Amino acid sequence: MAVDTDVLATAGRRRTFAVISHPDAGKSTLTEALALHAKVISEAGAVHGKAGRRGVVSDWMEMEQARGISITSAALQFGYRDCVVNLLDTPGHADFSEDTYRVLTAVDSAVMLLDAAKGLEPQTLKLFEVCRHRDIPVITFINKWDRPGRDALALCDELVERIGLQPMPLTWPVGEAGHFRGVVDLVTGEFVRYERTAGGATAAAEEHLDAERALAEVGPEWTRAVEEAELLAMSGGEFDRERYLKASATPVLFGAAVLNFGVRHLLDLLVSLAPPPSARPDAAGDERPVDAPFSGFVFKVQTGMDRAHRDQVAFARVCSGVFERGMVVTNATTGRPFATKYTQQMFGRERSTVDTAYPGDVIGLVNATALRVGDTLYAGKPAVRYPRLPTFTPTAFAVARPTDLGKAKQFRRGVEQLGAEGVVQVLTSDRRGDAAPVFAAVGPMQFEVAAHRMDAEFNSPIRLDHLPYRTVRRLLDPAQAPILNTGTRSEVLVRADGTLLALFLDEISLGMARRLNPDLALDDSLVDNADDQA
């Protein structure tokens, strides 16, 4: 395949974004609806649990399909108009915030999905703060307008009052929540009326009516929608692309993803408005141009996507230059070369070989057992390293033990793999030994995923004995570890990156340890700063 040498022009046609939301706001449904409107799938399996309907493309794990929630992030790449879209679906559940945070380091923009009945929810707020911290522009899609919900103006007011983000509506609902007639396209002034399809499995047909005909056919609902939209525009909500790109204002769209209503507007907006890849700062703070030699970083590692081969895939965001399959790159973490013979483009669990990739693209490096989350890959000289991805402060701990001692080899391999992927943090100590590693998690559902995968993928069922620790600090002086290992109220464990974590029963136990040992070298910034950002 011929390589496109005009990197800037090719990268300019990339749109790489994530969908963020609170659980059950319809995120995976929207992801599938976008793929449907781009005509890369012919039928959506958007509603979990309905007879005869398959699970969404992006939810490929057995637990995801059984529970109807996203547990792991997924990458989908497809073409739309003259652009290449890299869409990253993220877990909505708070227990998987660490996975979502990593995904947000790999995108150029985000879609914030709100439930029309609930508005801004806790997990959405946390994820938006990550976007704010990283200056990621956000488009807001208010979903589930086909169901009873809140007033449209009240939802927009909430964006201003709770997160200081000025709403700039580009569509406005005709009909209150639960009685969705269509939307006013505020760019053209037309009424866009949707036609339902069976179960929302195919793209909804649209009928475009001018304002005069809309008034005649819809009457007061059309008039109210136009007046509300004009009121918001006069109070600072007039569209301004620069405010969007500076992440101080958000375009707002209304729809119902399960029926595929309003989804085309969102896809068109992403292609026309969302920013393409741009220069990215390296670990030293220097901007690396898009057309510099190839570089990228690994933001996710996943096994079990291909049951036939049990291979490991490292998801990497291309940051600069042209990636060519087969090229030998350098892993900045180890300084060692890495051959890219097996490289694939992802569409959920489905994959196809990719020969070239450009800034903004997400590639899957297969059999990448030498790669870890946060690794930087680059070609040529000088070397480049992107900022490492922070590790969240764990809040729950459990000792993992194999239920079948005859499967010790499978147990060790599974534990090592789950730690490498970041499914859980794996902590060890000389006191406990390798046969009893401690799983550390941000939330308890991570333990369920770890136990399920140990059984299903590694054929090593485990028992988890939960530990009572609730307070964590980083121990800066290894020589002080014996001080905290003598009683039952504290313990020191080692994370895979070498960090010493001091675990305490509670804040009282921490305070007691400090009073007894005034020179105790504990870092009160906890483990990393990610817990302040997500």
Write the burial class of residue 118 (CB in 10 Å: 0-12 exposed, 13-18 middle, 19+ buried): middle
Confirm or deny that 89 is annotated as ligand binding: yes
467 contact partners, CB below 8 Å, separation of at least 6: 397, 398, 399, 438, 503
Q: What is the CA radius of gyration of the chain?
A: 25
Q: Which residues pair with 420 in a beta bridge?
A: none
3-state SS record for 457-521: CCCCCEEEEECCCCEEEEECCHHHHHHHCCCCCEEEEEECCCCEEEEECCHHHHHHHHHHCCCCC
255 marked as binding residue: no
Neighbours of 338 (CB within 10 A): 17
Is 133 annotated as a binding-site member?
no
**Dihedral, CA atoms, 519, 523, 526, 527, nearest 10 degrees?**
-120
Pick from 362, 343, 341, 381: nearest CA to 298: 362
Q: What CA–CA distance (Å, rounded) separates 144 from 134?
A: 28
Cα dihedral angle (388, 392, 398, 403), rounded to 10 degrees? -40
Closest of 281, 354, 278, 343 to residue 314, by C-alpha: 343
Rounded Cα distance between 81 and 76, Å, is 16
DSSP state of 407: G
| Contact status, residue 299 vs residue 364, Cβ threshold 8 Å | no
**Tokens linked to 447:** 């333990």
Return d(Cα 23, Cα 324) in angstroms, integer.
37
Q: What is d(CA 492, CA 476) in angstroms, rounded to the nearest whole number?
A: 11
Phi/psi region, residue 367 (left: phi>0; alpha: psi -120 to 50; beta: rest), is left
Q: Is 92 annotated as contributing to ligand binding?
A: yes
Take residue 487 and report the two structure tokens written for it.
Answer: 């009683």
Contact in structure between 424 and 417 (CB atoms under 8 Å):
no
Q: Is residue 499 marked as binding?
A: no
Alpha carbon separation from 172 to 33, 111, 265, 271, 381 (Å, rounded): 20, 17, 11, 20, 51
Using CB atoms within 10 A of its CB, is residue 219 exposed (0-12), middle (13-18) or buried (19+)? exposed
Half-sphere exposure of 48 (CA within 13 A, CB side): 19
Q: Which residues are annotated as a binding site for GTP?
A: 89-93
Q: Which residues are annotated as a binding site?
A: 89-93
